[in-house]
A and B are shown apart, each in its own frame.
Chain A
C-alpha cells in the first residue's frame, strides 16, 4: 500500500511558460521511476496537452544517469510525438562527467555580434568571435571563450558545471554567471591596461585571473 501511494509522486509534471518540467524523485529505485514515467505518459496523458509541440525539461534531482539510462528516458518521452526533449538535468558531478564525455575538448565556434536583447545558447564549449554587447546574453553549458569584447551577460556551466570558465579578450561584463554563482564586476572596475582574462569559481567564489593562468586551472581538472 505504502509503495503505491509513494509511486504516484515519483514523477511530477509541471507546466511552465517554457513547456513542461518533469521533476523526478531522486530517492527511489530507477526502475520504479521508469515504470511511473511510462505510465504517466500513457493513454491518460492526452488530458494534459493538445497536439501542439511542447518542450520538456527533465530534472533528475540528485541522481546520476548512465548514457543508457539517459537514452531510455529520451526514448520514453520521444514516444509522445508532440513532446520535444530539451534537456535532462542530472546531479552536478555527473553533469560534469557527461559534458567532458560528450565534448571532451571540443569547442564550437560562433561568429557575430550578440546585441542588446539577443540570447545565444549553446550546449558545450563555445568560442565566440565577436562582441557581446550590453543587454546581450550568452548561455553555455561548458566553457565560454570570447575573442572580442564581453560587455553583456555571460553564463558558463549553465547546467551546473562549477568547473566552467569564462574568458574574454575584453572583460567588461554587466554580469557573470558560472553554474549557480552570480557575480557582477565592482562599479569602479576601470582597468588601466587591457589584457585577456578569465573568470572561474574557487570554492563557490567567482574570481578573475589573467588568461595566461588558465592552463593551471584547467590542467588540474
Chain B
C-alpha cells in the first residue's frame, strides 16, 4: 500500500506543478513506483511539463465517470519505467467531480504504486477539496513573497481542519543574492510565521523554465542546483535526513586563487 502526497500552495504560480513533476521523477529515479495525478481539471499542466501531452487518450474524469478503466488512463513516462501520469481533463470543470470520487481513485492508485503525487490546483475551492481528499501527507509550496506566505498559511489552516496533520514546506525560487542583501523574506522569517517543518529549499534556476518548456523535469539535469534540491526533497520524503543545502554560491576559480593567496 503506497502513500498519497498532495502538493498544494493556495497561491498560483509558485511552482506546484514543477514541484509535483520533479518530486515524482526524483522518487522514480530512486527506484520507486510513482503515479503523478493532475487534479487541476480544466487547466491541466502537469502533462505539458512532463512532455506527455500528446499521449493523452483518457483522463481523470473519464475514469471517474466510468468511460475507461484506471489502467487505460495511466500514461507511462517516456524516460522512466516506474513513472506514470494520470492527467486531468481539459474540457471539464472542477465542479464536475466530487472529493469522494477522487479519494476512491487515489485509493486504487495507492494499491498499485508506492507513491501518488497529487498536483493540486490553485485556490481553496472545489478543486482544492478534490485534490486533498485522498491525500495522506501534504507538501505546501511557497515562495519568499509575503502574498505567497499568506496563502500558504491559509492552506495550512485548511489542511489542519481536514485532518491532514503536519504538512511540510517547500520554499521555492529563492534568490541567494537577495537573501544576502535582506531584500527577500528569509527562510527563518517564513518559518516563524508558518510554524511547520521545511522539507526543502529550492534556489531560483533558469534551467527550470527551460526544462519545463522542453517537457523535461529538471531533476534529470545534473548541472542544476534546483535539480539537487528536488532530489534532496525526495530523499527526505523517504525518511533520509539530508541537511538543507547551502545557498552560498561556490566561489569561482579566480576567487579561490585570491583567497588561497590571502590565507597563505
A binds B: yes
Chain A residues with CB under 8 Å of chain B are 113, 115-118, 131, 133-136, 149, 151
- Chain A's interface: helix, strand, loop or mixed, by majority? loop
Q: Check A131/B157 contact, CB under 8 A, given A116-B150, A116-B151.
A: no
* CB nearest neighbor in B for A112: B160
A136 — which chain B residues lie within 8 A by C-beta?
Answer: 153
Q: Is there contact, CB below 8 Å, between B157 and A117? A: yes
What's the Cα separation between A113 and B194 when bound, in Å? Answer: 9
Q: Is there contact, CB below 8 Å, between B157 and A134? A: no
Q: Choose among A113, A116, A131, A151 the residue that contacts B154 (Cβ–Cβ < 8 A).
A: A116
A/B pair count, beta carbons within 8 Å: 30
Chain B residues with CB under 8 Å of chain A are 146, 150-151, 153-154, 156-158, 160, 192-195
* CB nearest neighbor in B for A152: B153
B70 to nearest A CB, angstroms?
35
B171 to nearest A CB, angstroms?
17
Q: Is there contact, CB below 8 Å, between A116 and B157? A: yes
Q: Is there contact, CB below 8 Å, between A116 and B192? A: no
What's the Cα separation between A149 and B189 when bound, in Å? Answer: 12
What's the Cα separation between A217 and B195 when bound, in Å? Answer: 34
Q: Is there contact, CB below 8 Å, between A115 and B157? A: yes
B122 to nearest A CB, angstroms?
15
What's the Cα separation between A99 and B158 when bound, in Å? Answer: 33
Q: Choose among A117, A118, A133 the residue that contacts B193 (Cβ–Cβ < 8 A).
A: A133
Sample of 18 more A-B contacts, CB < 8 Å, known A117-B154, A134-B193, A135-B153? A113-B195, A115-B153, A115-B154, A115-B160, A116-B151, A116-B154, A116-B157, A117-B158, A118-B157, A131-B193, A131-B195, A133-B153, A134-B146, A134-B150, A134-B153, A135-B150, A136-B153, A151-B193
B147 to nearest A CB, angstroms?
10
B156 to nearest A CB, angstroms?
6
B195 — which chain A residues lie within 8 A by C-beta?
Answer: 113, 131
* CB nearest neighbor in A for B151: A116
Most B-side CB within 10 Å, residue of A117, A131, A134, A136: A117
What's the Cα separation between A136 and B193 when bound, in Å? Answer: 12
Can you sample 19 A-B contacts with CB below 8 Å? A113-B195, A115-B153, A115-B156, A116-B150, A116-B153, A117-B157, A117-B158, A118-B157, A131-B195, A133-B153, A133-B194, A134-B150, A134-B153, A134-B193, A135-B150, A135-B153, A135-B154, A136-B153, A151-B193
